[in-house]
Structure 1
Amino acid sequence: MSQIRPLIPLLVTAGILIGGNGLQGTFISLRALEEGFSTSLIGVIGAGYNIGFALGCVYVTRILRSIGHIRTFSAMAAIASAAAISMVLVINPLMWFLMRLLAGICFACLFATVESWLNASVTNKNRARTLSVYRLVDLGSVTAAQYVIPGIGLGGFELFAIISMALTLSLVPISFADRSSPVAPEAIRFDVKALWNISPLATVGCIVVGLTNAAFRSLGPIYAQGIGLSVTAIATFMSAGIIGGVVLQYPLGHYSDRFDRRLIILIATFGSLLAGLFLAFGAGNDEWLNFAGIFLFGAFAMPLYSLCSAHANDHAAEGQHALVSAGMLFFWSLGAIIGPLFASFLLEVFGPQALFIYTAAILFLFMLYTLQRMTARGPVPAGERALPFRNLLRTSSFFNKLAAGNNHKRKDR
């Protein structure tokens, strides 16, 4: 515990940010529906956040190198707080799109700042424990945040104020952290062609995860409201998907380290496809069947990003792992921009079940592509893989570095 104690302020700040972000994502979708926004407009607003997130991923290292961690965090927290509270002052789709885009930029920079700081502060002795605490903070804060919505209610300004207060208060614990600011990180290099050459399957897989999982995060509350769930049940529905995403991460990761990762990717894709079809055609309006269905969907769909990243690292040369980390997050962001837009149009035309018909169709196509790639080249033997499976958060590319540490096995090529 003594090794973790100096990192507690950073972990508390991360919990506030992750919880506030999870609360905002669900609340904005439901509040937009309350304000009479169409489903397609809600999809555009959701895509705005992901556009901003992609921009933040590209520029955050330049900002950190220019003004340092403390100033970057302070500026982005203040802007994100102002963006949150301004949405209740001007209830307009264009305004909300712009504020969510701004929030995406800010959160990408905020998460990168915290995780870069953590990465500079941990050692190999406390790395595993820090990561475990960080994942618990992630799961606990996002899950708890969902129940703030039924506790406060969708109407009024209160939830906007709570989100704004949380972002402002995130400055407090980090201000009590170690006063020595870490060295600014190296610039992130994006090379789309190089990443494609490393692993076409992993590149397509991260886009697919963005297309499907981001659509669920943005439009899951709209689906749940459309089948008649109460606000409390909607919070449980979203939480079940998040909790489900934790259950199979390590079992699937363990087997992917032992066998051909593409086989495990195929199994996870098939499982999430079946869960999506169950939600679309089997669960109906039954509350508990929908809870079970989304739990299974999260259990199989959420690990796909980490599995694809691990597969890309299997084929990466020495020195290319930072490129893989940044590139996977960037390609996920591209899918996350398109997914809510297209899925929201389908929901508006065909009803709530269209969300999971859409995800099932995307996942089916990805299964076919995975099978094709399995015939194109052989697997990397387990003993020659540079990095083991790591359970990754899609918060910043620095989380990958935090998880990897310095315990790499060199890969003979």
Structure 2
Amino acid sequence: MSHIRLLVPLLITAGILIGGNGLQGTFISLRASQEGFSTSLIGLVGAGYNVGFAIGCIYVSRMLRAIGHIRTFSAMAAIAAASSLAMLLVIEPTFWFFMRLLAGLCFACLFATVESWLNASVTNANRARTLSLYRLVDLGSVTAAQYLIPGVGIGGFQLFAIISMALTLSLVPISLADRSSPAAPEAIRFNVRKLWNISPLATVGCIVVGLTNASFRSLGPIYGQEIGLSVTEIASFMSAGIIGGVVLQYPLGLYSDKLDRRVIILVATLGATLAALYLAIFAGGDEWRNLAGIFVFGAFAMPLYSLCSAHANDHAGDGEHALVSAGMLFFWSIGAIIGPLFASVMLDLFGPGALFTYTAVVMVAFMGYTGLRMSARPGVPTAARHGRFRSLLRTSAFFNKLAGDGKNGDQR
């Protein structure tokens, strides 16, 4: 327990960051709509965050090696806080795009710094407890943050100020903690061709998750607004999708450890497709139908990233797991850049239901591709796999190591 107590400042910092990030994502979409931005422009602003996130994924390990954890965290938190306030001063789509890009870059670096720090601090004896606490912090902070929006309101300066204050205050726990900065992590080099050769299915799967789930996170508030949900109902709608994502993570993961993972990927994709079609066709403006639909969608769609990552690691060789971890996150970022842009155009042209029609079409295409890969390549026998399924956050490549057992970041 004493080991966990030493990690409390980092976990508090993580909770403030994750909550602030979840609050900002939903709030910016709603505020942009209030300011008269078109849906396609809101999608562009949402894509800006993911552009910055992808850049941050590439360069953060170099930054940590160059200036260390404390300086990296301090600089990125300050810039992210400033970018939030700057959006209040200049309400213009192009400017907001670049501020969200800057925020995405900062958050990628901030999450990587915290998770790298946690990795350096945990042992095999307390790894599972730390991971459970971290996941609890993630779920609790994101869910609670959604309800600040109806509590405070989307007009005025208050939520911009709250987000900026949260990012600034995240510096306090790790600054006051009696800890020295850990050693810088090894640099991770991207090799796109190698990643593709390791697992084409996992690569495409992570792009698909970015195309669909990121569109929900960016445009879900606009969908809720256009079907007539109140701000409180929109907060509940977004929270239901996040909570749903936790429910089937471990059951699907357990079966994927026993069966061909691709079968479970197909099942999860089918479930997400059916839920998306239900939302597009039957949910309408009814709050409870939408809550039920998005809960089921989250339950099947959110585990897909972890399932694809586990499948890629089944095929990875010795020393390739760090590359796979960083690569899957990078490919997710690519999908997350494109998805909100395309989905926002569809929503503009065909109405709110088009968000989930688009999602269903992408998922059906992925089901077809999964079937092709199953016919082209045999499954990995259970005994030959490099490790078990793990529920992963799309925060940084270092979370993959935190969820492992500390043996060189592998999957065993």
Aligned equivalents of 1:408, 1:13: Cα separation in 2: 26
1:47–1:340 Cα contact (<8 Å) kept: yes
Give the superposition deviation at 1:10: 0.2
Q: Which residue of 2 aligns with 1:214?
A: 214
Q: Which residue of 2 aligns with 1:307?
A: 307
Q: Which residue of 2 aligns with 1:70?
A: 70
- Give 2:122's aligned amino acid: V
1:361-376 aligned at under 5 Å gives the runs: 361-376=361-376
1:61-120 deviation digits (Å, cap 9, x = unpaired): 111111000000000000000000111111111111110000000000000000000000
Aligned equivalents of 2:389, 2:356: Cα separation in 1: 28
Structure 1 position 246 matched with structure 2 position 253: no
Aligned-residue sequence identity (percent) comes to 77
Aligned equivalents of 2:389, 2:114: Cα separation in 1: 23
1:214-363 aligned at under 5 Å gives the runs: 214-363=214-363
1:228-268 deviation digits (Å, cap 9, x = unpaired): 00000000000000000000000000000000000000000
- CA RMSD, 1 decimal: 1.3
- Give 2:86's aligned amino acid: S
Structure 1 position 379 matched with structure 2 position 379: yes
- SS of structure 1 residue aligned to 2:49: helix
2:401–2:410 Cα contact (<8 Å) kept: no
Structure 1 position 13 matched with structure 2 position 13: yes
Give the superposition deviation at 1:370: 0.4
Q: Which residue of 2 aligns with 1:159?
A: 159
1:199–1:312 Cα contact (<8 Å) kept: yes
User: Closer, same or farther in 2 for the Cα pair 1:200/1:118, shift >3 Å?
Assistant: same
Q: TM (normalized to structure 1)?
A: 0.98
1:318–1:411 Cα contact (<8 Å) kept: no
Aligned equivalents of 2:339, 2:377: Cα separation in 1: 29
Aligned equivalents of 1:283, 1:376: Cα separation in 2: 38
- SS of structure 2 residue aligned to 1:91: coil
Gaps of 5+ in 1: none
2:123–2:406 Cα contact (<8 Å) kept: no
Give the superposition deviation at 1:407: 5.3
1:386–1:409 Cα contact (<8 Å) kept: no
User: Closer, same or farther in 2 for the Cα pair 1:410/1:18, shift >3 Å?
Assistant: closer
Q: Which residue of 1 aligns with 2:406?
A: 406
Aligned equivalents of 1:284, 1:207: Cα separation in 2: 28
Q: Which residue of 2 aligns with 1:101?
A: 101
Q: Which residue of 1 aligns with 2:39?
A: 39
1:169-192 deviation digits (Å, cap 9, x = unpaired): 000001123431111011111000
Give the superposition deviation at 1:286: 0.8
Aligned equivalents of 2:209, 2:411: Cα separation in 1: 28
Gaps of 5+ in 2: none
Aligned equivalents of 2:409, 2:75: Cα separation in 1: 39
1:132-164 deviation digits (Å, cap 9, x = unpaired): 000000000000000000000010000000000
1:120–1:182 Cα contact (<8 Å) kept: yes
Aligned equivalents of 1:145, 1:120: Cα separation in 2: 28
Query: After the TM superposition, which of the residue ranges 170-179 and 49-58 deviates more from structure 2?
Result: 170-179
- SS of structure 1 residue aligned to 2:156: coil
1:49–1:102 Cα contact (<8 Å) kept: yes
Aligned equivalents of 2:177, 2:363: Cα separation in 1: 43
Q: Which residue of 2 aligns with 1:147?
A: 147
Give the superposition deviation at 1:384: 1.1
Q: Which residue of 2 aligns with 1:190?
A: 190
2:261–2:311 Cα contact (<8 Å) kept: yes
- Give 2:369's aligned amino acid: Y
- SS of structure 1 residue aligned to 2:220: helix
Give the superposition deviation at 1:408: 8.2
1:215–1:336 Cα contact (<8 Å) kept: yes
Q: Which residue of 2 aligns with 1:49?
A: 49
1:25–1:218 Cα contact (<8 Å) kept: yes
User: Closer, same or farther in 2 for the Cα pair 1:172/1:384, shift >3 Å?
Assistant: same
Aligned equivalents of 1:409, 1:284: Cα separation in 2: 46
Aligned equivalents of 1:407, 1:327: Cα separation in 2: 20
1:265–1:304 Cα contact (<8 Å) kept: yes
Aligned equivalents of 2:410, 2:161: Cα separation in 1: 50
1:384–1:411 Cα contact (<8 Å) kept: no
Aligned equivalents of 2:101, 2:335: Cα separation in 1: 16
Structure 1 ranges of 4+ moved more than 6 A: 408-412
- Give 1:126's aligned amino acid: N
- Give 1:213's aligned amino acid: N
Aligned equivalents of 1:83, 1:255: Cα separation in 2: 43
Aligned length: 412
- Give 1:223's aligned amino acid: Y
Aligned equivalents of 2:370, 2:300: Cα separation in 1: 16
- Give 2:5's aligned amino acid: R
1:272–1:296 Cα contact (<8 Å) kept: yes
Aligned equivalents of 2:212, 2:174: Cα separation in 1: 34
1:193-237 deviation digits (Å, cap 9, x = unpaired): 001000000000000000000000000000000100000000000
- SS of structure 1 residue aligned to 2:154: coil
- SS of structure 1 residue aligned to 2:3: coil
Give the superposition deviation at 1:3: 2.2
- SS of structure 2 residue aligned to 1:4: helix
- Give 2:171's aligned amino acid: L
